[in-house]
Structure 1
Amino acid sequence: MDIEIVNAVVRWIDSNCDKPLKIKEIADYTGYSQRHIHNMFKKIVGTTLGKYIRQQRLCIAATKLKMTSQPIIQIAYQLNYDSQQSFCREFKKMFRVPPNTFRKQDLWDFSSYIVPFEFDLPELPKILFDNLNEQKLFGYEVNYDTCFTHHINEINPLHIELIIKNFEIYQDTIFSLVDKRPSHTNKNLVSVTAFIGTKNSGHRPHQCLLQKNITPGLYLKTTFYGTWKEYGILISRLYRHVLPGYKLKRRNARDIEVFNYSDEISLSDTALFYCDYYIPVIR
């Protein structure tokens, strides 16, 4: 019973991290006294409620630094710090470098992220590490801006439509090389660039195709089978749970999606499909 209450508290915190949370509000949410919820939380999670909230806010800040061009002072105020100075001081304590340095680093270091506490999540698919060689792909590239979310990889409906459209065209395994970085047009948005294609240059007239190479090197890999909603949850967990859990650094290369061809895949909430997902990493 206690662990279920704490899990509900953690999810409530995750949804309200950008608000000035107080333990009294959390106690009111659960119906328990402040002292009881504080003791229960510390016993199960292993840290105090206040410290957990601060840590998760700083993890959100780190992700915003990498995925948006929001000024540091804006990020600080969004996460309820009373000044840029206090935010920078706390950030450096946790991530060992100032926010501006973290933003400019070529690698995205997940080793200081704190894995969110959740006990009732479904088991993850097997996590592997795979060295990929350079491979030529033929296809086309699309670009669009999307809203920032600290869950990192909620699947954009446009991306799903593009995958399905290319299944219909190619009737073959589809590769998607996805890059996410700060938008050039809006400091609050994330720019997504996706190269979508196959290994076969003969599917379309050559002049209509772009060539893109898979960046060689080490990748974290997992194989997924399920629905689009479950796929979005998986990618979020890879970034929020697996990369921090393994203390990994993400290389400056594109994530790779490899969709196995199926003539049954669709936009339906119940449609099932297979996909291998790769994240470029350094161990």
Structure 2
Amino acid sequence: MSKNEALIGELINWIEEHIDQAPAVEDVCKRSGYTPRHIQKLFSDVTGKTVGDYIRKRRLTRAAILVTFTKKSIYHIAMELNFSTQQTFSRAFRREFGCSPLQYRSRKYLQCSRLTPRFSSTTQSVQLFLSEPKGFRLRVFEFKYREALLDSAKRGSQLRLDKVMNILAEHSVAVVVSNIACNSKRSWEVEIQAKSGFHDNKNYNYERVKQKYWTTSFKGTWEEYIAFIRNFLISIDLNLYQGNIIEEIRLCEQHDNENINFNFILYFPVTL
């Protein structure tokens, strides 16, 4: 990592920590210790965006996630993200996404290609392909948890890991089926309705028929996977439709108890 990339990385971290307070471009420039003209050029060279564009797009991306996955009023979303008025927020939202917040909410999908993920110089490109796996039968156990929409996953991550490890102790593949319940009117959290289980054609209590999915894969530790999936969902170039997200999880052949690596395959519902 170059000196310029390290500097911009520090500024990105500061912006993200204060993004909901609507940080001013002037504050970012002052924090860098360089002239506004110089830091704007460095920032643009590294990220492809000006400081102001990055802040605006990240704020509106967070707004789009709240509009899609909660039932919060548009007014409360605007105020919580520190827009001066609901009208100011709605105008900025329309310029970015081509429709009003309410029109955006009425859709049955999240337009991921218009969102802006947190910048990282180490972000790897994701390979997506269309697949149509055969139907499957699972023996599953239902559970629910609440997860933060805009910040790092904590509670749900550990709970899911515990469920997965319990299954992998006795089976070669663990399967998690998750669906987001968009019913929160007060918090920035959503309820995840999930099922964890394993393939079982005889004693199954959950069945999925053959259908089309967008599919991708990942290999790494659990912590790396959680970071990957949260960034991945707002950086892919497709519309993410509401429905069950399916994860197939296997242990890598070589691992130790301190650094367990997994192979993940993810399936996202497709509407063509």
Q: TM exceeds 0.5?
A: yes
Do structure 1's residue 147 and structure 2's residue 148 form an aligned pair? yes
Range with bigger deviation, 60-69 or 37-46: 37-46
Cα distance in 2 between the residues matched to 1:195 and 1:108:
23
**CA contact under 8 A between 2:175 and 2:197: conserved in structure 1?**
yes
> Partner residue of 1:138?
139
Say if 1:182 and 1:14 are closer, same or farther in 2 by CA, change over 3 A. Answer: same
Identify the match of residue 250 of structure 1 among 240, 255, 267: 240
Cα distance in 2 between the residues matched to 1:125 and 1:270:
23
**CA contact under 8 A between 1:220 and 1:281: conserved in structure 2?**
no
Find the residue that maps to 2:21 and give its secondary structure: coil
> Partner residue of 2:167?
166
**CA contact under 8 A between 1:220 and 1:280: conserved in structure 2?**
no
Do structure 1's residue 56 and structure 2's residue 51 form an aligned pair? no
Do structure 1's residue 237 and structure 2's residue 226 form an aligned pair? no
**CA contact under 8 A between 2:65 and 2:149: conserved in structure 1?**
no
Do structure 1's residue 200 and structure 2's residue 193 form an aligned pair? no
> 5 Å matches for 1:1-283?
1-121=3-123, 123-124=124-125, 126-149=127-150, 156-168=157-169, 170-183=170-183, 186-202=186-202, 206=203, 210-213=205-208, 216-222=211-217, 224-241=218-235, 243=236, 246=237, 248-260=238-250, 270-281=259-270
- AA paired with 2:245? D
Say if 1:133 and 1:120 are closer, same or farther in 2 by CA, change over 3 A. Answer: same
Cα distance in 2 between the residues matched to 1:147 and 1:25:
28
Range with bigger deviation, 146-155 or 64-73: 146-155
- AA paired with 1:76? A
Residue 144 of structure 1 and its aligned partner are, at CA, apart by 1.8
Say if 1:256 and 1:59 are closer, same or farther in 2 by CA, change over 3 A. Answer: same
Find the residue that maps to 1:111 and give its secondary structure: helix
- AA paired with 2:26? K
**CA contact under 8 A between 2:71 and 2:185: conserved in structure 1?**
no
Range with bigger deviation, 75-84 or 10-19: 10-19
**CA contact under 8 A between 2:113 and 2:234: conserved in structure 1?**
no
Cα distance in 2 between the residues matched to 1:33 and 1:270:
44
- AA paired with 1:272? N
Residue 152 of structure 1 and its aligned partner are, at CA, apart by 7.5
Find the residue that maps to 2:29 and give its secondary structure: helix
Residue 139 of structure 1 and its aligned partner are, at CA, apart by 1.3
**CA contact under 8 A between 2:70 and 2:190: conserved in structure 1?**
yes
Cα distance in 2 between the residues matched to 1:175 and 1:157:
16
- AA paired with 2:248? V
| Aligned-CA RMSD value | 2.8
Cα distance in 2 between the residues matched to 1:215 and 1:103:
29
- AA paired with 2:191? S
- AA paired with 1:117? F
| TM-score relative to the length of structure 1 | 0.83
Cα distance in 2 between the residues matched to 1:42 and 1:265:
40
Residue 88 of structure 1 and its aligned partner are, at CA, apart by 0.8
Report how many aligned residue pairs link the two structures: 270
Structure 1's unaligned 5+ residue stretches are none
**CA contact under 8 A between 1:64 and 1:70: conserved in structure 2?**
yes
Residue 211 of structure 1 and its aligned partner are, at CA, apart by 1.7
Residue 194 of structure 1 and its aligned partner are, at CA, apart by 1.0
Find the residue that maps to 1:58 and give its secondary structure: helix
Find the residue that maps to 2:267 and give its secondary structure: strand
